């Protein structure tokens, strides 16, 4: 399914094209999506993968989420935090949320994600609190990340 290499900027632009889309558990289109759905839709839009899974509840199993991510993407060291990578985040104890790292329009980094509490896809600065929630980073297949 992979064609020409995709740049991190294309990943970010595609993720941003979903900003404002309403949050919907297991949603997979512009009518509504959840955090996993955003990553799936970005990968599908850029023809990076045709993978999808909806075998999860409203509170995903952290171990299963990690296994799925490792099966579809390359895990990166936390020092690889950069636009275009996928971040696995925790809100309390266990990781259960995905976001796409972006270059913040006012400097630094941000994340684009479907946030249930906001009821839509949002982007905001990757501040200290959000940064502390990151437990793993993943490279989407077919994206040409800088070495």
Q: Determine the 3-state secondary structure of 142 from DSSP.
A: coil
pLDDT in tens, 24-78: 999 999 999 999 999 999 999 999 998 887 777 777 677 888 888 888 899 999 8
pLDDT confidence of residue 30? 96
Whether the Cβ atoms of residue 80 and residue 34 lie closer than 8 Å to each other: no
Residue 3 lies inside a defined structural domain of this protein? no
Q: Is the pLDDT of residue 93 over 90?
A: no
pLDDT confidence of residue 89? 94
Whether the Cβ atoms of residue 2 and residue 139 lie closer than 8 Å to each other: no
Mean per-residue pLDDT, 101-124: 94
- Bridge partners for 121 per DSSP: 114
Residue 1 lies inside a defined structural domain of this protein? no
C-alpha to C-alpha distance for 118 and 18, rounded to whole angstroms: 14
Mean per-residue pLDDT, 103-125: 94
Domain that holds residue 106: 8-139
Q: Determine the 3-state secondary structure of 109 from DSSP.
A: strand
Q: How many residues does the chain have?
A: 147
Query: Which CATH number does the domain housing residue 62 bear?
Result: 3.90.1720.10
Residue 147 lies inside a defined structural domain of this protein? no
Residue 94 lies inside a defined structural domain of this protein? yes
pLDDT in tens, 41-55: 999 999 999 888 777
Of 102, 84, 87, give the one whose Cα is nearest residue 132.
87
pLDDT in tens, 79-91: 999 999 999 999 8
Q: How many domains does the chain have?
A: 1
Mean per-residue pLDDT, 95-101: 93
pLDDT confidence of residue 1? 52
Cβ neighbours, 10 Å, residue 49: 18
C-alpha to C-alpha distance for 101 and 97, rounded to whole angstroms: 13
User: Any idea what the Cα angle at residue 12 is, between residues 88 and 138, rounded to 5°?
Assistant: 30
C-alpha to C-alpha distance for 63 and 54, rounded to whole angstroms: 15
Residue 144 lies inside a defined structural domain of this protein? no
């Amino acid at each position: 399914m992979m064609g020409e290499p995709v740049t991190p900027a294309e990943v970010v632009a595609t993720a941003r094209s979903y900003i404002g889309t309403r949050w919907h558990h297991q949603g997979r289109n512009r009518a509504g999506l959840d955090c996993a759905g955003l990553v799936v839709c970005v990968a599908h839009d850029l023809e990076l993968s045709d993978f999808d899974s909806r075998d999860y509840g409203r509170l995903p199993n952290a171990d299963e989420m990690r296994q799925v991510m490792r099966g579809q993407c390359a895990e990166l060291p936390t020092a690889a935090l950069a636009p275009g990578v996928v971040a696995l985040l925790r809100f309390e104890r266990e990781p259960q949320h995905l976001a796409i790292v972006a270059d913040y329009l006012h400097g630094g980094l941000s994340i684009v994600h479907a946030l249930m509490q906001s009821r839509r896809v949002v982007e905001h600065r990757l501040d200290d609190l959000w940064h502390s929630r990151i437990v793993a980073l993943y490279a989407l297949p077919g994206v040409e990340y800088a070495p």
